[in-house]
């Protein structure tokens, strides 16, 4: 693709991005404005409904209270005009009295055998009714007969009087009545006064509110429905009773007191209704129902101190967004027209600007073909004119650089031949690896020492490396990559025939002109013959040491054997020995056994199993056992734990032997008493555990310090000189270190270091 086309497309892409951002920001701002307007509209609807509901509820409560008071006054008048004994009252008398008091009916109730039954009424349909299935009505009746205050929480309660809420009549489910009940104990019956109410007037909460909702829907086409929820009953099973075969909903326990509820999402709606009541903040939900995506908002509205409704306003989301989508489509069409205009304009502008660039391109092509003399004749003072001038200068300089490069190439070729000759004729094996460990080059000595040809190992991962040397080799490579060096590192490698040979390797990094490591070179030398010679020398030294040990053991054993031989000769001459002689013989035999046993510990490697040990606990146990013995020698044992003590891997019994030996030596070094301090601490690098035994004894001379650990060397009476040697052997088996520091007359400090970076069990 030409620069002209690329430049045109780049400008068009920038214009397209700007137009797309403009469309996006316009859509977002319009959407936010629409959401704010919708929220304002919902608030307006709720405010209108709130005012309507408040007026209707106030009117209804006033009318309900007025009717209740009228029924109470009528009941009091009826009590005065009726005989206190129901036997002397007739239905005709009740009918006449109801007309006189402008009532629809009067019914007399009695409590018989714990049940409240209507005995006499001006309406024959009201006779023989039983209230035991009337929920809170039955409870209110019993409270009246018990001369208690009615506390059912429904209707209006006064002294000796209760007015039930407006509801459907049991005797005629098509009628809605208001009832009053009066009983003051002066009669043997309860007086029930009844007024038939006009349904449209008494329950204008439904019709009046629905009229407001219908008007709002006619003004807003996207408004699907407005629903009034009564949180007290919504989500509960509706109370439906069969009255003369007709199912009747209780008017005072309706879940939806007004509005429509066709777009139902009952379970989620119930959740939102309770959430709205808890937070007092509008909640919004989206869901699909009846083929429409419904957007419903829930807002709480408080009618009075005792009554709160939740208004649900449902909108058709698709219709709400229709105007937004139309606006978005108009923006997209306008933007496409602007983009097309920008593409055409940028194409012509790019062509005009690139005429000078074409001349520069011709000059560059000439330089690429080796013609450095051709020049550009652009006289413009802009960036292209400056570029043409620099290209002309570049052509002149390239001619000079090309000449210099040819001379340098000849020198590099000579140096390369010299280096290749040096590498291929050295007796040491050389191989070069990339940073991933793949071999990229080997010399002839590598092929002769290891047996692999260059073609066989190129691209391979160190084929001569034993499995048990992989980890150590990775450590060496890491040292090189970190800027370190590896020189004369002795190890073993495989040959092609599978033979292990001893080699000494030197590893170094190969760096580029930026001093970055690009490869790693390894020089290896076969030292198998040298190692064999060294092994022979070590064996000779071991034989000398064995001879020295054997001579020492023979010397130490000869003394008690001489004693035993003398007693045996004495036994042979006298025929009997005293008990003291026998005890001395047993003592000498024990001395021989101890010398031989300790010699075996030194001579025979034993299979050990390392366990995870807490050295602090080991030393505390030993101090407890040896404290009484130390106190007899006037020595105080003290432990100082300086830092947290890490666990180590080791053999508890062997380490106890070392610690006991250190404490006994310290106690015996203080014949006049003193303090033996035991310090426990972790090394600064956290890799070792430090244990230090410090006494205040006689100290060790420099001459004796050089002989510590020598077999059978001791300055103690009754000692055999093998204790320190055994301790050194045990510490070596645990990969640790044992050091002595001492000043004559001031005391001795023994420092033991044990590694903590081992596995707990091996």
One domain for residues 516 and 555: no
For residue 653, name the pLDDT band (cuts at 50, 70, 90): confident
Is there a domain that residue 103 lies in?
no
Mean pLDDT in the chain? 79
Place of tokens 């000059």: 363
CB 208 within 8 A of CB 193: no
Q: Distance between CA 55 and CA 44 in Å, rounded?
A: 17
Residue 235, beta-bridge partner list: none
Q: Which residue has the tokens 């698709």?
A: 318
The Cα-based distances of 479 to 467, 483, 521 in angstroms read: 20, 7, 13
Q: Quick check: is 25 in a domain?
A: no
Domain boundary among 496, 526, 556: 526
- The secondary structure element, H or E, covering residue 489 is strand 486-494
Mean pLDDT of 42-56: 70
pLDDT tens track for 256-290: 777 778 888 877 888 888 888 888 888 888 888 87
User: Do 249 and 309 belong together in one domain?
Assistant: yes
**Tokens 């320190």 belong to residue:** 724
pLDDT at 649 over 70: yes
Q: SS in 3 state form for 696-741?
A: CCCCCCHHHHCCCCCCCCCCCCCCCCCHHHHHHHHHHHCCCEEEEE
- Residue 120 is predicted with a pLDDT of 93
> Using only C-alpha atoms, what is the Rg of the chain?
56
CATH code of the domain containing 537: 1.10.287.130
Local structure of 608: helix, strand or coil: coil
Of 232-246, 400-414, 453-467, 670-684, minimum mean pLDDT range? 232-246
Whose CA is closest to 496, among 449, 426, 455?
A: 449
Domain count, the chain: 4
| Greatest alpha-carbon span in the chain | 159
The pLDDT of 128-142, averaged and rounded, is 88
Q: C-alpha angle with apex 399: 404 to 413, nearest 5 degrees?
A: 30
The string of pLDDT tens digits covering residues 313-361 is: 888 777 777 777 777 888 888 888 888 888 888 777 777 666 666 767 7
Asked if residue 364 belongs to a domain, the reply is no
My answer on whether 580 and 472 are in the same domain is no
Cα gap 28→24, rounded to integer Å: 6
pLDDT at 600 > cutoff 60: no
DSSP-derived 3-state class of residue 136: helix
- 555-585 burial string, b = 16+ CB within 10 Å, else e? ebbeebeebbeebeeeeeeeeeeeeeeeebb
Separation of alpha carbons 688 and 445, rounded Å: 43
Instruction: Report pLDDT for 200.
Output: 41
Whether 609 and 751 map to the same domain: the answer is yes
Does 711 share its domain with 649?
A: yes
Range of the domain at 730: 605-755
Q: Residues 622, 569: one domain? A: no
- Of 710, 698, 623, nearest to 660 by C-alpha is 623
Reference 729, options 604, 611, 545, 554; nearest CA is 604
Cβ count within 10 A of residue 198: 9
Residue 402 within a domain: no
Q: How far apart are CA 96 and CA 427, in angstroms?
A: 142
In 3D space, the residue among 449, 460, 544, 461 whose CA is nearest the CA of residue 497 turns out to be 449
* Structure confidence by residue, pLDDT tens digits, 695-726: 998 888 887 777 777 766 677 765 666 678 77
- Domain assignment present for residue 722? The answer is yes
The pLDDT assigned to 190 comes to: 94
Check pLDDT > 80 for residue 68.
Answer: yes
393 CA to centre of own chain: 63
Q: How far apart are CA 678 and CA 624, in angstroms?
A: 13
Helix 652-668 × helix 723-733 angle, to 10°: 140
Q: Which comes out higher in pLDDT, residue 382 or 608?
A: 382
Q: Point out the domain boundary residue: 566, 601, 636.
A: 601
Q: Which of 612, 651, 646, 613 is nearest to 760 (CA)?
A: 612
Contact residues for 491 (Cβ-Cβ < 8 A; gap 6+): 469, 472, 502, 503, 505
Most confident of the following: 205-214, 315-324, 347-356, 553-562: 315-324
If DSSP codes are grouped into helix, strand and coil, which group holds residue 181? strand
Report the 3 state secondary structure along 547-566. Answer: HHHHHHHHHHHHHHHHHHHH
The answer to whether residues 484 and 542 belong to one domain is no
Q: Which two tokens stand for residue 154?
A: 């429904």
Residues whose CB is less than 8 angstroms from the CB of residue 298 and which lie 6 or more positions away in sequence, other chains included = 229, 269, 272, 273, 276, 282, 283, 284, 285, 310, 311, 312
Q: Note whether 643 and 742 are same-domain residues.
A: yes
236-240, 307-311, 516-520: range with highest mean pLDDT: 516-520
| Neighbour count for residue 154 (Cβ, 10 Å) | 18
642: domain CATH number?
A: 3.30.565.10
The SS3 call for residue 291 is coil
Rounded to whole angstroms, the Cα distance separating 453 from 202 reads 110
481 or 42, greater pLDDT? 481
DSSP 426-442: -SSEEEEE-TTSBEEEE
Residue-wise DSSP of 202-260: HTHHHHHHHHHHHHHHHH-TTEEEEEEE-TTTTTSPP-EEEETTEEEE-GGG-SS-EE-
DSSP annotation of 636: E
Q: 599: buried, middle or exposed (CB in 10 Å: 19+, 13-18, 0-12)? A: buried
User: Distance between CA atoms of 350 and 20, rounded to whole angstroms?
Assistant: 23
CATH code of the domain covering residue 485: 3.30.450.20
Residues 233 and 314 in one domain: yes
241 belongs to a structural domain? yes
User: pLDDT class for 563, splitting at 50, 70, 90?
Assistant: low
Pairing label, strands 635-641, 176-182: unpaired
Q: What is the structure's pLDDT at 203?
A: 46
Strand partners, 308: 302
562 plus 664 within the same structural domain: no
Contact status, residue 688 vs residue 755, Cβ threshold 8 Å: yes
CB 753 within 8 A of CB 737: yes
Exposed/middle/buried for residue 695 (C-beta within 10 Å: 0-12, 13-18, 19+): buried
- Whether the CB-CB separation of 586 and 567 falls below 8 Å is answered with no
- Average pLDDT of the segment spanning 402-429: 75
pTM: 0.35
Q: Considering the domain boundaries, does residue 334 fall inside one?
A: no
Number of helices (H), then strands (E), in the chain: 18, 25
Residues forming beta bridges with residue 755, ordered by sequence position:
688
Place of tokens 């009918």: 95
Name the helix (H) or strand (E) containing 386: helix 383-425
Rounded to whole angstroms, the Cα distance separating 177 from 251 reads 11
Is residue 336 within a helix (H) or strand (E), and if so which, with residue range?
A: helix 317-353
Domain boundary residue, one of 526, 553, 573: 526
pLDDT at 187 exceeding the cut of 90: yes
Q: In what order do the strands lie in the sheet with 737-743?
A: 635-641, 674-682, 688-694, 747-755, 737-743
If you search the block for the tokens 């010399």, which residue do you land on? 443
Residue 640 forms part of a structural domain: yes
Shared domain for 613 and 516, answered yes or no, is no
- 705 and 591 share one domain: no
Q: What is the DSSP letter of 464?
A: T
Strands 429-433 and 439-442 come out as antiparallel
- Nearest CA to 671 out of 633, 701, 636, 699 is that of 633
Mean pLDDT of 475-504: 87
Q: Please calculate the CA angle 125-129-130 and round it to the nearest 5 degrees.
A: 170
Indicate the SS3 state at residue 190. Answer: strand
Residue 553's pLDDT is what? 64
């Amino acid at each position: 693709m030409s620069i002209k086309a690329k430049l045109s497309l780049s400008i068009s892409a920038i214009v397209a991005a700007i137009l797309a951002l403009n469309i996006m920001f316009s859509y977002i701002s319009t959407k936010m404005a629409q959401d704010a307007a919708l929220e304002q509209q919902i608030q307006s609807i709720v405010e209108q409904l709130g005012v309507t509901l408040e007026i209707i509820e106030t009117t209804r409560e006033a009318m309900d209270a007025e009717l209740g008071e009228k029924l109470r006054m009528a009941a009091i008048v009826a009590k005065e005009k009726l005989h206190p004994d129901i036997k002397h009252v007739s239905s005709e008398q009740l009918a006449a009295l109801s007309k006189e008091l402008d009532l629809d009916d009067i019914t007399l109730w009695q409590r018989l055998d714990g049940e409240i039954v209507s005995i006499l009424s001006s309406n024959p349909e009201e006779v023989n009714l039983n209230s035991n299935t009337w929920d809170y009505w039955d409870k209110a009746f019993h409270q009246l007969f018990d001369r208690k205050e009615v506390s059912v929480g429904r209707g209006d309660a006064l002294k000796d009087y209760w007015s039930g809420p407006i509801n459907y009549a049991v005797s005629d489910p098509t009628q809605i009545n208001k009832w009053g009940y009066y009983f003051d104990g002066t009669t043997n019956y309860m007086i029930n006064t009844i007024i038939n109410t006009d349904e449209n007037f008494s329950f204008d909460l439904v019709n009046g509110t629905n009229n407001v909702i219908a008007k709002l829907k006619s003004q807003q086409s996207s408004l699907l429905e407005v629903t009034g929820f009564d949180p007290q009953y919504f989500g509960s099973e509706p109370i439906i009773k069969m009255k003369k075969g007709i199912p009747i909903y209780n008017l005072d326990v309706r879940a939806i007191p007004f509005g429509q509820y066709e777009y139902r999402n009952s379970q989620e709606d119930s959740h939102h209704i309770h959430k709205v009541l808890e937070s007092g903040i509008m909640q919004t939900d989206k869901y699909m129902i009846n083929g429409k995506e419904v957007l419903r908002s829930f807002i709480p509205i408080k009618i009075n101190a005792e009554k709160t409704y939740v208004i649900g306003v449902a909108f058709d989301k698709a219709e709400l967004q229709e105007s937004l989508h139309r606006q978005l489509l108009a923006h997209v069409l306008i933007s496409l027209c602007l983009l097309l205009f920008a593409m055409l304009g940028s194409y012509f502008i790019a062509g005009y600007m690139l005429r000078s660039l074409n001349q520069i391109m011709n000059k560059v092509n000439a330089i690429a073909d080796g013609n450095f003399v051709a020049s550009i004749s652009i006289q413009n003072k802009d960036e292209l004119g400056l570029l043409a001038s620099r290209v002309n200068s570049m052509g002149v300089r390239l001619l000079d650089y090309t000449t210099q490069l040819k001379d340098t190439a000849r020198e590099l070729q000579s140096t390369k031949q010299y280096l290749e000759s040096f590498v291929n004729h050295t007796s040491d094996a050389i191989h070069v690896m990339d940073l991933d460990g793949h071999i990229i080059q080997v010399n002839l000595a590598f092929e002769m020492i290891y047996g692999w040809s260059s073609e066989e190992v190129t691209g391979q991962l160190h084929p001569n490396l034993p499995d048990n040397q992989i980890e150590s080799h990775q450590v060496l490579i890491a040292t090189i990559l970190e800027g370190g060096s590896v020189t004369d590192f002795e190890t073993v490698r495989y040959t092609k025939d599978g033979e292990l040979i001893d080699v000494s390797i030197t590893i170094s990094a190969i760096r580029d002109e930026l001093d970055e490591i690009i490869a790693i070179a390894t020089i290896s030398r076969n030292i198998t013959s040298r190692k064999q010679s060294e092994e022979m020398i070590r064996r000779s030294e071991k034989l000398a040491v064995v001879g020295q040990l054997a001579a020492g053991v023979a010397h130490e054993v000869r003394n008690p054997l001489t004693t035993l031989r003398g007693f045996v000769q004495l036994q042979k001459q006298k025929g009997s020995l005293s008990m003291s002689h026998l005890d001395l013989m047993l003592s000498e035999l024990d001395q021989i056994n101890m010398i031989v046993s300790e010699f075996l510990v030194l001579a025979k490697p034993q299979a050990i199993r390392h366990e995870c040990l807490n050295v602090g606990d080991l030393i505390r146990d030993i101090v407890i056992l040896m404290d009484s013995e130390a106190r007899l020698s006037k020595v105080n044992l003290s432990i100082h734990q300086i830092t947290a003590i890490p666990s180590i891997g080791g053999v508890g019994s062997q380490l106890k032997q070392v610690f006991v030996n250190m404490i006994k030596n310290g106690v015996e070094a203080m014949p006049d008493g003193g303090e033996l301090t035991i310090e426990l601490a972790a090394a600064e690098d956290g890799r070792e555990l430090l244990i230090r035994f410090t006494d205040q004894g006689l100290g060790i001379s420099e001459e004796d310090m050089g002989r510590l650990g020598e077999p059978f060397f001791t300055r103690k009476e009754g000692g055999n000189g093998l204790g320190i040697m055994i301790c050194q052997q045990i510490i070596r088996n645990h990969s640790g270190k044992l050091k002595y520091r001492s000043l004559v007359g001031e005391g001795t400090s023994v420092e033991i270091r044990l590694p903590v970076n081992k596995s707990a069990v091996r």
